[in-house]
Amino acid sequence: MTGIWSAVLVLSITGAIFALVLYFVAQKFKVVEDPLIDEIAEVLPGANCGGCGKAGCRAMAEAFVKQGNMEGLKCPAGGDEVAKKVAALLGCTPEESEPQVAVVRCNGSCSNAKAKSNYDGLQDCAFANSLYSGESGCMFGCLGLGNCTRACQFDALTMDKETGLPIVDEEKCVACGACVKACPRGIIELRNKGMKNRRVYVACRNKEKGADARKSCTAACIGCGKCAKTCPFGAITVENNVAYIDYKVCKLCRKCVAECPTGAIHAVNFPPKPAPAPPPAAATAEPTATTPATETNNNQ
Amino acid sequence: MKTFAMGGVHPEENKISTTAVIEEFPLPETAVILMNQHLGAPATPCVAKGDTVKVGQLIGKAEAFMCANVHSPFSGTVQKIDTCKDAFGLAKPAIYIKVEGDEWEESIDRSPDIKRECDLEPKQIVDKLKEMGVVGLGGATFPTHIKYSIAPDKKAEYLIINAVECEPYLTSDHRVMMEHAEEICIGVSILRKALGVPNAYIGIENNKPEPIAVMKAMAAKFQGIIVEPLKVKYPQGAEKQLINAITGRRVPSGKLPIDVGCVVSNVGTAYAVYEAIQKNKPLMENILTVTGKKLDKQHNYHVRFGTTYNDIIAHSMGSLPETTGKVISGGPMMGKAVSNLDAPTTKGASSVLVIDESEATRAEESNCIRCGKCMHACPMGLEPYLFSSLVKNGRIEEAGAHNILDCIECGCCFFSCPANKPLLDEIRLGKNLYRGILMAKKK
């Protein structure tokens, strides 16, 4: 019998000692975490897309709580809806921001930029970019191997088999910017969604001289500057032989679209133009232009 | 017979142009001289539009450290200084020349006599190599004067001349040894003097018995030149493998050959050194193999660089055979497919290789079964299958920790893979990404 009692006694004493040690250690190394972090993390989309620039949604929630307000922090995937919820939890007013969408600035489709060589190596844009200019010979155009579609966590990008270019699903795109980072040629840009989802942009990044650019792609921007002269708002700049439309200044008047001789300027989500529009547009176009102005109404 | 210790493969040799004597390639009408024909920064053009230039005149000056002078291979008028798309479609600074006649700089000795004596000091030799724009002709186009400017804390013990030519199809080194053995040996003696080493070893694979015999007979007349026949195995012509084969030494990871006391130069470079030092002739042409199984006639040409690939194709075969799948500059293992045939050739070009459609396409890829053939084939002792999956999953730093940068891109892994996985492509991508990470860390 004494054996049992001594065992009980020894275990009880050691148990009590360990309990004390554990208690003091727990007190000493206690991590106080704001319960607000958990609440905010709950509200965030939880996709861990990295669009905010943080490692994931939890890190973003911590950043919100640490800062105490929403200045400079934005969850692009959640949009205004999530921003309102986070603001309510933090007790501040949400920053109003224009919703954005990814825009593919290349029109080097299989028909516009005819393939002059075939590529059968690793199906990865970054690798192909390190090797050569691309099948059409354009050093700036889409390589069509789909790094952007693989980077997209929201299933918003798909490769169009016919054109060989990525298509952005405007409903699904949350403008997290993953595709922008994935594209080795910097073709994809985040632009404001614009009024009624309408946007006007230059679908080309080719910095070569006009004649050289046209050699690889019939729809290339040749840097002629007609659009910049036409624009009544000064939204267009031509630098390094390529035009760029500032979406913050653009008023969507579409005068540049009709003026572009190569059809490099795209206007999306506008209602179709009235019937008599195409003939004068085609007449003003340079004789070498093969893309009629009507085609520029295509959705991306 | 010696060879390197680890890995290697035996691709089909296909040396079908070994008997084609080197011919002079006719001058084109216009030529484009790229300003970066070498490893490093592009040279700065030092002529203007409208200038007349002579053959051998300096037209691109080396201003950066890692750079080489560029000389005009043609006489004529400078049409414009602009960019030109290279063989891979990437725009590079270039000088366009309208070729008129063939007027050479007077300083260049064009007589056929062989000049044997060289009384220059080692420093003078290196300076003259720099002036003449000589670069390594084994493929990497590393400026030769930099290679032979040995840092004071390093000491060269071996000079190794790479005449292995382990790439299938290529025969330019084979032909230059058959036709210019004495010039090569003089060139090697000059390089030996520049380094101050007692012996130079010329490594030749034993599938070239004729050049071995010719070089052995010639080397016997020179002091300190040893011809070393080597057992055939690809990639014996890779610098580190050749050092291992001849000296038994191993270049440690991340180190250079000079760290184990070796300097390796190509046999073509030795010939260029002879011409530059003894004949005052700058590097402005190279020997180019034009070959392919479907071609009626195989050629080896003396081509002045600036001649376009299309010029070479038009002159040597009229037009490409209909079933052509690829045109490769360099050998089939390490060369690159030319996507822009309008591009001019450069100092590094060693061949125009016409590969038939039936051999140009890749076989269908299947899954890795971890058979380890790629590991056995890798001459650097790396694990290609591991890199493949690490790179695919974005674990680039881990690939870096497994020494992905040691890969010499010889292609043995891809060659031996029964699943036809694009191992080399994935490794190259991983190397690029890892270099990017290292650069970002430095900043």
Of residues A116, A121, A132, nearest to B90 (C-beta): A132
Residue A274: its pLDDT value, please?
64
Residues A111, A245: one domain? Answer: yes
Q: Let me know whether B128 and B270 are in one domain.
A: yes
Q: Are residues B145 and B268 in the same domain?
A: yes
Residues B275 and B380 in one domain: no
* Structural domain contains residue B340: no
pLDDT of A298 higher than 70? no
The answer on A234 and A214 residing in a single domain is: yes
- Cβ pair A109, A164 in contact under 8 A: yes
> In Å, how far are A126, A153, B379, B389 from B396, measured between CA atoms?
14, 20, 22, 10
**Domain C-terminal end among B257, B279, B301:** B279
**Do B108 and B339 touch, CB atoms closer than 8 A?**
no
Bigger pLDDT: A294 vs A230: A230
Query: Does position B282 have pLDDT exceeding 90, yes or no?
Result: yes
In this prediction, residue A70 has a pLDDT band, given cuts at 50, 70 and 90, of confident
Residues of A in contact with B422 (CB under 8 A): 121-122
A113 with A54, same domain: the answer is no
Whether A107 is in a domain gets the answer yes
Provide the residue range defining the domain that includes B189.
Answer: 122-279
Say which amino acid occupies A1: M
B390 found inside a domain: yes
d(CA B52, CA B99): 10
Q: Say yes or no: B339 contacts chain A, CB-CB below 8 A.
A: yes
> Does residue A95 belong to any structural domain of this protein?
no
Q: Is the pLDDT of residue A281 over 60?
A: no
Residues whose CB is less than 8 angstroms from the CB of residue A143 and which lie 6 or more positions away in sequence, other chains included: A125, A128, A129, A134, A135, A184, A185
Can you give the pLDDT at residue A78?
A: 83
Q: Distance (Å, rounded) from C-alpha A47 to C-alpha A155?
A: 12
Kindly state the tokens that stand for A213. 């650019």
Q: Let me know whether B147 and B271 are in one domain.
A: yes
Task: From B105, B108, B88, B101, select the one nearest B34 (Cα to Cα).
Answer: B88
Residues of B in contact with A120 (CB under 8 A): 361-362
Residue B326 within any structural domain of the chain: no
Which residue range is the domain that position A215 belongs to? 100-297
Alpha helices in chain A (DSSP H): 2-28, 35-43, 57-67, 79-90, 125-131, 147-151, 178-182, 210-216, 226-230, 255-259, 278-284
pLDDT at B294 over 60: yes
Same domain, A63 and A161: no
Output the average pLDDT for chain A: 86
Q: Do A134 and B89 touch (CB under 8 A)?
A: yes
Q: What is the mean pLDDT of residues B335-353?
A: 91
Instruction: Name the residue facing A139 among B89, B362, B433 (closest C-beta).
Output: B89
Which among B137, B154, B169, B182 has a CA at the least distance from the CA of B255? Answer: B154
Residues B314 and B342: their CA atoms lie apart, in Å, by 12
Q: Cα distance from B367 to chain A (closest Cα, Å)?
A: 15
> Would you say residue B302 lies in a domain?
no
Amino acid at B295: L
A129: which chain B residues are within 8 Å (Cβ-Cβ)? none
Cβ-based neighbours of A30, under 8 Å, separated by 6 or more: none
Q: What is the pLDDT of residue A299?
A: 40
Q: Is the pLDDT of residue A240 over 80?
A: yes
Range B266-295 average pLDDT? 94
A86 lies in the same domain as A112 = no
Coil, strand or helix: which one is B292? coil
- What CATH number is attached to the domain comprising A49? 1.10.15
- The residue among B355, B357, B425, B431 with the most chain A CBs within 10 A of its CB, best to mutate, is B425
Nearest chain B Cα to A131, which residue?
A: B88
Calculate helix-pair angle for B122-131, B181-195, nearest 10 degrees: 120
Three-state secondary structure readout of A27-56: HHCCCCCCHHHHHHHHHCCCCCCCCCCCCC
The answer to whether the CB atoms of A131 and B336 lie below 8 A apart is yes
Contact with chain B for residue A120, Cβ under 8 A? yes
Helix B181-195 to helix B209-219 angle (10° resolution) is: 60
Average pLDDT, stretch B289-304?
93
Is residue B246 helix, strand or coil?
helix
Contacts of B85 in chain A (CB under 8 A): 133, 137
CB A211 within 8 A of CB A288: no
List the B336-337 sheet strands across, edge first.
Answer: B22-24, B299-304, B285-291, B351-356, B324-329, B336-337
The pLDDT tens digits of the residues spanning B228-237 come to 999 999 999 9
Does residue A180 share a domain with residue A72? no
Statement to judge: residues A70 and A150 lie in one domain: no
**Is residue B128 domain-shared with residue B264, that is, in the same domain?**
yes
Listed residues B243, B264, B279: the one ending a domain: B279
State the pLDDT at residue B173: 94
Assigned domain for A250 exists: yes
pLDDT exceeds cutoff 50 at A209: yes
Least confident of A92-106, B274-288, B325-339: A92-106
**B6-50 per-position pLDDT tens digit:** 999 999 999 999 999 999 999 999 999 999 899 999 999 999 999
**Cα distance between residue A272 and residue A295, in whole Å:** 11
Q: In whole angstroms, give the CA distance from residue A37 to residue A48.
A: 16
Determine the distance from the C-alpha atom of residue A282 to the mean position of all C-alpha atoms in its chain, rounded to a whole number: 33
Distances (CA, A) of B410 to A44, B317, B364: 48, 30, 21
- Are A200 and A168 part of one and the same domain? yes
> Which residues of chain B does A126 touch, with a Cβ-Cβ cutoff of 8 Å?
429, 432-433
Instruction: Identify the pLDDT of residue A275.
Output: 58
A121/B425 touch (CB, cutoff 8 Å), yes or no: yes
ipTM score of the complex? Answer: 0.89
Q: Output the DSSP codes for A238-290.
A: EETTEEEE-TTT-----HHHHH-SS--EEEESPPPPPTTSHHHHHHHS-TT--
Q: Considering the domain boundaries, does residue A48 fall inside one?
A: yes
- List the beta bridge partners of residue A190: A102
Averaged pLDDT for residues A285-295:
41
Is residue B97 domain-resident? no
Mutation target among A116, A123, A124, A131 for the B interface, most CBs of B within 10 A: A131
Hey, how many other C-beta atoms are within 10 angstroms of the C-beta on A126?
18
**Between residues A94 and A286, the one the model is more confident about:** A94
Q: Is the CB of A139 less than 8 angstroms away from the CB of B91?
A: yes
Given B225, B259, B279, which residue is the final one in a domain?
B279
pLDDT score of A99: 85
Interchain proximity B89–A133, CB inside 8 Å: yes
Q: Note whether residue B437 is domain-resident.
A: yes
Contact A120 B361 (CB under 8 A): yes
Is there a single domain that holds both residue A58 and residue A186? no
Tell me, what CATH number does B151's domain have?
3.40.50.11540
Please name the residues in contact with A197: beta carbons below 8 A apart, sequence gap of 6 or more.
A170, A268, A269
Q: Is residue A178 part of a domain?
A: yes
Whether B425 contacts chain A with CB within 8 A: yes
Q: Is B5 on the interface with A (CB under 8 A)?
A: no
B91/A132 touch (CB, cutoff 8 Å), yes or no: no
What the block records as the tokens of B297 is 């006639």
Number of structural domains (chain B) is: 2
Domains contained in chain A, number: 2
Residues A70 and A116 in one domain: no
A170 CB burial (10 A radius; 0-12, 13-18, 19+) = middle
Cα-based distances in Å from A150 to A157, B42, B59, B426: 8, 36, 47, 16
**Is residue A75 domain-resident?**
yes
Q: Is A122 on the interface with B (CB under 8 A)?
A: yes
A39 and A153 together in one domain: no
Q: Is residue B322 part of a domain?
A: no
Three-state SS for A149? helix
Residues of A in contact with B389 (CB under 8 A): none
When scoring B84, B334, B429, B435 by the number of chain A Cβ atoms within 10 A, the one with the most, hence best to mutate, is: B429
CB contact under 8 A, B433 and A134: no
Closest by CA to B365, choosing from B391, B388, B383, is B388
pLDDT at B58 over 90: yes
Cβ of A133 within 8 Å of Cβ of B340? The answer is: yes
pLDDT of A276 reads: 52
Q: In the block, which residue shows the tokens 């790094």?
A: A147
Domain membership of residue B428 (yes or no) is: yes
Residue B1 to residue A181: CA distance in whole angstroms: 53
Residue A94: per-residue pLDDT: 80
Share of chain B above pLDDT 90, in %: 88
Asked if the C-beta of B336 comes within 8 angstroms of chain A's C-beta atoms, the answer is yes
The verdict on B247 and B385 lying in the same domain is no
| A134 Cβ under 8 Å from any chain B Cβ | yes
As a whole number of Å, the CA-based R_g of chain B is 22
**Same-domain status, A76 and A104:** no
pLDDT in tens, A126-152: 999 999 998 988 999 999 999 999 999
pLDDT of residue A33: 83
pTM of the model: 0.85
For residue range A12-59, what is the model confidence (pLDDT) as tens digits? 999 999 999 999 999 999 888 888 898 999 989 888 888 888 888 999
Q: Is residue A12 part of a domain?
A: no
- Per-chain mean pLDDT for chain B: 93
Instruction: Choose the final residue of a domain: A90, A111, A130.
Output: A90
Interface of B with A in 75-104 (CB under 8 A): 85, 88-91
Distance, in Å, from the CA atom of B163 to the CA atom of B173, rounded to the nearest integer, reads 6
Return the minimum-mean-pLDDT range out of A130-134, A292-296, B331-335: A292-296
pLDDT in tens, B187-220: 999 999 999 999 999 999 999 999 999 999 999 9
User: Is B85 in contact with A133 (Cβ distance < 8 A)?
Assistant: yes
User: Does residue A112 fall inside a structural domain?
Assistant: yes
Tokens 């700065």 locate to B44
Contact B428 A127 (CB under 8 A): yes
Cβ–Cβ gap B429/A124 under 8 Å: yes
CB nearest A133 (choices: B339, B425, B432): B339
